[in-house]
Chain A
């Protein structure tokens, strides 16, 4: 990481550099998304556009998975609306660092506030919090330019996501359906789910939602998925309360 003479350009580039290794983990998802989108019958231009306007990997995979299963507009919108709600968490934990910025900066940073950019940027903010505060007291000339770092990280992830989507879309047209690469999407969900099941309430939410998806399978337009997720959230909330009471 470049410390030394801090300039906007230097911070931006440092953000780019620190985000770059994460692209190795992100690129396969972009490609899986592109391939699965084509398999679900989404036109390539629209799949690419989605990566720019939605710019959230998990929800894009969910949309494609639900389209392939024949889900309707409302269930997909509701499921996406629920799943993406967790971005409010990132927004909340970034708030203390960016609150002082002019509105145009916050509007811009909100667009790149993804899981992976957040992970890199929040480290920079925490790392240099003490040091920068120390510095600023001595001289007002050294302004806090870490939002440029955040922007660099976010921009790098954005570019990587667009390019890997494009690679998946290019590659996807040449892959025969017998390869069943669409199966990579539920496999991705399994992998992410395993990482997330750390505490009791989350496990309860997952178990009830999984069973609910089977119990409500017959509901039209895949509305059963929405019902299952809501029921899972209720189970999670109930478990939290039970655990608090037991304490």
Chain B
């Protein structure tokens, strides 16, 4: 993507985000959030993060690749376990990176 296109994209996303934030305190201040939209909002983050995680781990160049002979999927598994146990974001990132480095050290390519 060219720098100009990226700048345009960021301005667009910024404007949209601002509109969302202003929506209920400004544009529709006298109305309450419809129930369906409320439910939808609650599911957006889990759906987005799951899709992006799956894609980051198992998609390369438009193809599904389960590269279990590389460290990343295993480091991600360690992160999942730590996230589950601790529910701590920084501990999860730290454990995942540590696992990645350890695996790279133990099994140099």
Interface residues of A (CB under 8 A from B): 25, 28, 32, 42-43, 46, 49-50, 53-56, 58-59, 62-63, 65-67, 69, 72-73, 76-77, 79-92, 94-95, 98-99, 103, 106-107, 109-111, 113, 180-181, 183-197, 201-203, 205-214, 217-220, 222, 224-225, 228-229, 232-233, 236-237, 240
Q: Is the CB of A94 within 8 A of B53?
A: no
Residues from chain B with Cβ under 8 Å of A56 in the complex: 17
- What separation, in Å, do the CA atoms of A35 and B14 have in the docked complex? 20
Q: A46-B6, A81-B13 are in contact. Are A203 and B46 (CB under 8 A)?
A: yes
A43 vs B29: C-alpha distance in the bound complex, in angstroms?
38
Please, what's the 1-or-0 string for B74-94, where 1 marks a CB less than 8 Å from any CB in chain A?
011001100110011110110
Chain B positions within 8 Å of A229 at CB level: 44, 47-48, 51
How many A-B pairs with Cβ below 8 Å?
271
The distance from the CB of A44 to the nearest CB of chain B, in whole angstroms, is 12
Restricting to B53-90, which residues have a CB under 8 Å from any CB of A? 53-59, 62-64, 72, 75-76, 79-80, 83-84, 87-90
Chain A contact surface mostly: helix
A233 to B103, CA, bound (A): 36
Q: Tell whether, in the assembled complex, residue A86 and residue B90 are in contact, meaning their CB atoms are under 8 Å apart.
A: no
Is the CB–CB distance between B42 and A186 below 8 Å?
no
Report how many residues on chain B are interfacial, defined by Cβ distance under 8 Å. 69
User: Does residue B102 face the partner (Cβ distance < 8 Å to A)?
Assistant: no
CB neighbours (8 Å) of A90 from chain B are 21
Set of chain A residues within 8 Å of B59, measured between Cβ atoms: 69, 213-214, 217
A202: which of B17, B46, B55, B83 is its contact (CB, 8 Å)?
A: B46
